[in-house]
Every structure is written in structure tokens, then in C-alpha cells.
Chain A
């Protein structure tokens, strides 16, 4: 955000979304995660966005869900939706093939962007488990085009910061990781 935007009371539109290939980097990075570090996909991913209470928005979402169901018949991807306590909607995709998950998540965000609602997307979340069966999430921030690991710990809003940094080191440069640690925003109440 530039000086002029600040003076003028803020950008009136958000910057262009980052290129989709940063999302797709997960398909190749997963090979390393799985083969060298024992972090396996749980066969589920989700995309979370702010639903707008307008006919146009709901029509776009319905159309996109129909499209996903159609391609899902070929790939085996199944979808479900849920709303959380903050009023955000999650579209949850189940598929054991991580590439299908990435493609599915991209189809959702793409449909919203084409409809003019790209700035409603909060994040995409991919669920994994490590060799001890512990949950590890990778969160993709669409606004910044960056990934970061998120490992919840037991307790109210507690996270395992050490484990997150270990996972970051494992992945190395294969994923575009968010460089500013204070932007590793947790997401509480992930339904996957």
C-alpha cells in the first residue's frame, strides 16, 4: 500500500490476486513432504470465504458447486459446505489425490474471481498428518500469494510454533512461504 493510497484514505480496490501457480506449487512440494518427511495428506482440503447475502453471489456459488460436482464425477472428488461461528463459509473437498484437491480449490477461487468476488476469499487450507498422526495444516493466503504451516496445539488458541518452523524448514524453497512470521495468521475452528 503506497503513500498516496494512505493519504487518500485507502485503496478502493485490492491489488490483483497473485498468480495461481503459487497455489499449484503444493502439488510438487507434496512429493517432498510425503517421501522425505512422512507428512501425508489427510485427503481433504478446504477453501474459506465470506459469503455475501446477495442473489448474484449465491448464484455464482451454486454454479461453481455444480461444476465441481460435475468434474468430481471423473476425479472422485466429493464436496461439502459448512459455515463457522464467524459467518465464513467453508467448501470442503475430499480426494486422496492431492493434485485433484489443488485443482478443485483453484476451481472455487477462480469461479469467485471471475464473478468479481475474488476479494471475499480468505484462505485455502490443506490438511496433513505427520508420522506420529499429529495434525499439520498448510494455509494459502490468496491476498499475499504465500503459504505457511499451521500446527494447532492442545489448549485455547494454542499453536505449536516449534513444529511449524520445523515443517517450514522441511519444505525449503519448494513452496512460496510467507516470509513475515507475524503474517502466519492462525485459523481457529478449521472444520477439516
Chain B
């Protein structure tokens, strides 16, 4: 039966790199929690407070993100083309329909937010809708739907939890830790501070790597949904050249959320510190998929 034949094969290399990154991140965090507990009451308290903050952030981030981008939900009557395009992609990706929002800015970008598949929102800027052809825009929207399908908001929130704990401890430590003349903080606090520093630096690097892998996954997912890897590649090229020409002021509000954008709004950042893989690498991957399609090796296999 033809049930196992599909348009694309899996990318085992990407999956194993992603798994290794998640394993390292997990191991790092387990060690960190160990240190916090060994340090006694202080460490435990910090963990609790940070947990509260993270939960608060998790439950309010959607509205904040939309608001920061100046985005507004649009009805099918206001944006019929966008709605019907996404409805069809949802059938193809087997997803419930997300809310659809539009941000009124010239910056060409798109992003997806939402804690679950059912509460997700995808947002496109007016800039990207003007810049791209329908097929290219479809590729970008399929990329955002792939983020929703892969639950990337949830995964990056969990991945960043202990990193933000470490960051809090560092800030807290520098503000108050050195302030007291007497030494009643004891050596325990110093250990926590040092451990936090290590965790902060390492987890930051690992999270950036994880985020890049998830971008590759979402590109792949988009190609799978639309069957048109080249359309997304072409969109990425247009976005990349378009963003270089735009003023930086537009990007202020965007930095915080860059993980879920179609393209990172930041300027060129060295490889290790980037949330998004370089455009050339992403386009290269998409062209590889297009090559697989064109030679028909997969369908004949």
C-alpha cells in the first residue's frame, strides 16, 4: 500500500542534533537545581519566585506580544485572502485554525504565538503582505503554522525557564549580594552566584542552538505543507534584502520576541548567538528539498 510514501523524507541529522542540544540543556538544568537545593532555603526560595514570574509571563505573553507589535486581529471580511489561505494550510497541516492578526508596520515579518495549538495566533505585517507574492506569503504562513504544530512557544518557554532563574539570581546577587558588610550570606550564596553565571552563559548558547534547529524544522514543515520549498526560499531572500534597507528604530519592540519571527529582526550576529540560522543556510536546506522533489527520487523510491 502507498500509505508510507510521502513527498519528503525525514532529516535524521537535524533531529539528532536537536536531541543532543535538549539533552545537554536538560543535564545543565538538573545540575543547576542540584546546586540550588544543596545551597538550602535560599536556593529553593529563588526557584519558587522565578517560577511564579515565568508562569505570569507565560500566561500574559500573547497579548503583550501582539500589543508590542501594534497588531490587531482581523476578521475574514477584512482580510479574506489571508483567511482562506490559512484555512487551506490548516487542512494540509491538520491544525485547528489559529486567530489571524495583522501588524501595521513596513517591516516585512511574520510570527506565531500561543501556548497551545488551539489558542495560537499568527500575525503578518502589512509590509510582508505587500512585499511577497501569494505563493511566497503562503510559504511564510506555513512556516508559522509549523511553529504552532511543533509547539515551539511552549518548548522555548520551558527551555528558557532555568536560564531566567539564573539571570534573576545574577541580577539579585549583584544588587544585594555584595551590599552587606557582614558575611551572613555565607559561602552558599557565592556558590549559587557562580553556578548561575555558568548556567546563564551555557544555557544561552544551547537555547540559541535549539532555536536555530527549530527554525530549520519549521522551514521543513512549511515545505511539507505547501509542497513548494522554492516559494519559501524566494520569500526568505526577499525578506533578507528588504530588512537590510529598513531603519533600525522599527525593531526596538521586536527584539524580545525574535525567536518566533520568520526572520530575525536583528542585524548580523555571530553564528553562536543568533536565534535564527543564517538565511543562506535556510535557503540551502529548502533548495535541497526542492532538489529531492525535482529529481523525483522520493516518489519513485
- Which of B271-301 touch A at CB < 8 Å? 293-294, 296, 298-301
**A55–B299 alpha-carbon span in the complex (Å):** 11
Q: Is the CB of B18 within 8 A of A122?
A: no
| Secondary structure call for the A interface | loop
Contact indicator B10/A12 (Cβ below 8 Å): yes
Question: Contact between B150 and A54 (Cβ–Cβ < 8 Å)?
Answer: no
Does A73 touch B at the CB level, under 8 Å? no
Residues from chain B with Cβ under 8 Å of A14 in the complex: 6, 94, 224
A17 lies within 8 A of B214 (CB): no
Question: Contact: B3 with A123, CB < 8 Å?
Answer: no
Q: How far is the CB of A2 from chain B (nearest CB, A)?
A: 11
Complex Cα distance, B1 from A116, in Å, reads 10
**Are A156 and B76 in touch, CB under 8 angstroms?**
yes
Residues of chain A lying within 8 A (CB to CB) of residue B249: none
A87 within 8 A of B: yes
**Segment from A33-41, A61-69, A75-83, A184-192 that makes contact with B:** A184-192
* Contact residues of A between 85 and 118, Cβ < 8 Å to B: 85-88, 113-118
Determine if B144 is an interface residue (Cβ-Cβ < 8 Å): no
B115 part of interface (Cβ distance < 8 Å):
no
Segment 1-30 of A: residues with Cβ below 8 Å from B:
1, 6-10, 12-14, 16-17
A6 touches B155 (CB 8 A): yes
Question: Which single member of B4, B135, B149 contacts A1 (CB below 8 Å)?
Answer: B149
B205 to chain A, nearest CB (A): 19
Determine the distance from Cα of A156 to Cα of B300 in the docked complex, in whole angstroms: 43
The answer to the question of A162 belonging to the interface, with a C-beta cut-off of 8 Å to chain B, is no
Check B189 for interface membership: any CB of A closer than 8 A: no
Task: Tell me the nearest residue of chain B to A56, going by C-beta.
Answer: B296
B40: CB under 8 A from chain A?
no
Across the two chains, which residue of chain A brings its CB closest to B215?
A9
Of A8, A85, A122, A143, chain B has the most CB atoms within 10 Å of the CB of A8
A183 to B7, CA, bound (A): 24
Contact across chains for B84 and A8 when beta carbons are under 8 A apart: no
B209 near A: Cβ within 8 Å? no
**Is B91 in contact with chain A by the CB < 8 A criterion?**
yes
Q: Are B299 and A8 in contact (CB under 8 A)?
A: no
Smallest distance from the beta carbon of B51 to chain A beta carbons, Å?
A: 22
Could you say which residues of chain B place their CB within 8 Å of the CB of A156? 76-77, 80
Assess whether B70 is interfacial by the CB under 8 Å rule.
Answer: no
The answer to whether B6 touches A185 (Cβ under 8 A) is no
Q: Report if A185-B226 is in contact (Cβ < 8 Å); known contacts: A9-B18, A12-B11.
A: no
Chain B CB count within 10 A is highest, among A50, A122, A123, A144, for A50
Given contacts A6-B155, A9-B18, A157 and B217 within 8 Å (CB-CB): no
Interface size on A, residues (CB 8 A): 47
A161 to chain B, nearest CB (A): 13
**Which among A7, A12, A60, A183 has the greatest number of chain B C-beta atoms within 10 A?**
A12
Other-chain residue from B22, B80, B92, B94 in contact with A50 (beta carbon distance below 8 A): B92
Nearest Cβ on chain B to A33's Cβ, whole angstroms: 23
- Residues of B56-93 whose CB lies within 8 A of A: 76-77, 80-81, 83-85, 87-88, 90-92
Known: A157-B76, A188-B84. Contact between A9 and B213, CB under 8 A? yes
Q: Is A74 an interface residue (CB 8 A)?
A: no
Cβ A9 vs Cβ B217 within 8 A: yes
Q: For residue A153, which residues in chain B have a CB less than 8 angstroms away from its CB? A: none
A52, A117, A143: the one within 8 Å of B94 (CB): A143
* B97 CB contacts on chain A under 8 angstroms: 182, 185
B96 touches A180 (CB 8 A): yes
The answer to the question of B194 belonging to the interface, with a C-beta cut-off of 8 Å to chain A, is no
Q: Judge whether B6 and A116 touch: CB under 8 Å.
A: yes
Looking at the assembled complex, report how far the CB atom of A154 sits from the nearest CB atom of chain B, in whole angstroms.
13
B91 near A13 (CB under 8 angstroms)? no
B293: which A residues are within 8 A, CB to CB? Answer: 52, 54
A156 closest partner in B (C-beta): B77
Decide if A120 is an interface residue (CB 8 Å cutoff).
yes
Q: Other than A9-B218, A54-B294, give 8 A-B pairs with Cβ distance below 8 A.
A: A8-B15, A50-B228, A88-B88, A114-B2, A144-B94, A157-B84, A180-B96, A186-B84
9 A-B residue pairings within 8 Å (CB atoms): A6-B149, A10-B221, A13-B6, A14-B94, A55-B296, A114-B5, A143-B92, A157-B84, A185-B97
